[in-house]
């Protein structure tokens, strides 16, 4: 596995992992998320988790949370959604993030779900204690 795709790197430099080369204009993201995407856990989540490239996730129609978040962020940026970013969510007592979501000014994108809410409201209603937000530019 390519060490440059180690999931913690997406937290440090999220803009590097967004797919800006694909033409997202004809991609029906909401439909894909609802009808085609399957959440599947990587063989071992945690320290050795590796992020897929967004185009791989779309082609294979499956991935885990950061894979979905990278597709959502790529689509959101390409379609001009304001305030796009990734948020890394912590669940107590774990010392590392347990979930990754994408967001923009109107929606949170979480493992196939799209909710009209803010990150703060989403975290408040979730099992996560807090989320570290990283804007994607």
Entry pTM: 0.92
Token match 């196939």: residue? 112
Q: What is the pLDDT of residue 50?
A: 83
Q: How many domains does the chain have?
A: 1
Residue 47 domain boundaries: 3-12+23-135
**Residue 42 falls within a domain, yes or no?**
yes
> Scanning the structure block, which residue is given the tokens 């033409």?
23
* b (16+ CB within 10 A) / e for 118-130: ebeebbeeeebee
Is 114 within the bounds of a domain?
Answer: yes
Q: Any residues with CB less than 8 A from the CB of 18 and at least 6 apart, and which?
A: 54, 70, 73, 74, 77, 136
Report yes or no on 39 lying in a domain: yes
Question: 121 with 103: CB under 8 angstroms?
Answer: no
Residue 64: inside a domain, yes or no? yes
Residue 95 pLDDT greater than 90, yes or no: no
- pLDDT at position 94 is 84
In a domain, 47, yes or no: yes
- What local confidence, expressed as pLDDT, does residue 66 receive? 93
Query: Within a domain: residue 18?
Result: no
CA atoms of 76 and 120, how far apart (whole Å): 19
Task: Tell which residue, 45, 40, 49, 44, has the closest CA to residue 6.
Answer: 49
Dihedral sign for Cα 55, 61, 62, 66, please.
positive
Asked if residue 86 is part of any domain, the answer here is: yes
> Does residue 17 sit within a domain?
no
Instruction: Looking at 17-128, list the stretches that DSSP marks H as alpha helix, in order from N- to C-terminal side.
Output: 29-31, 54-60, 65-78, 119-124
Q: Is residue 105 scored above 60 in pLDDT?
A: yes
């Amino acid at each position: 596995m390519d060490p440059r795709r180690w999931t913690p790197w997406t937290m440090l430099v999220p803009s590097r992992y967004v797919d800006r080369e694909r033409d997202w204009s004809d991609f029906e993201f909401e439909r894909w998320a609802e009808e085609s995407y399957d959440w599947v856990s990587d063989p071992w989540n945690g320290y050795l988790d590796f992020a897929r490239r967004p185009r791989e996730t779309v082609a294979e129609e499956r991935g885990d949370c950061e894979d979905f978040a990278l597709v959502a962020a790529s689509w959101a940026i390409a379609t001009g959604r304001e305030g796009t970013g990734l948020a890394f969510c912590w669940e107590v007592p774990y010392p590392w993030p347990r979930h990754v979501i994408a967001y923009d000014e109107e929606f949170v994108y979480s493992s196939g779900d799209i909710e009209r809410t803010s990150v703060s409201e989403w975290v408040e209603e979730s099992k996560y204690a807090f989320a570290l937000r990283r804007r994607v530019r």
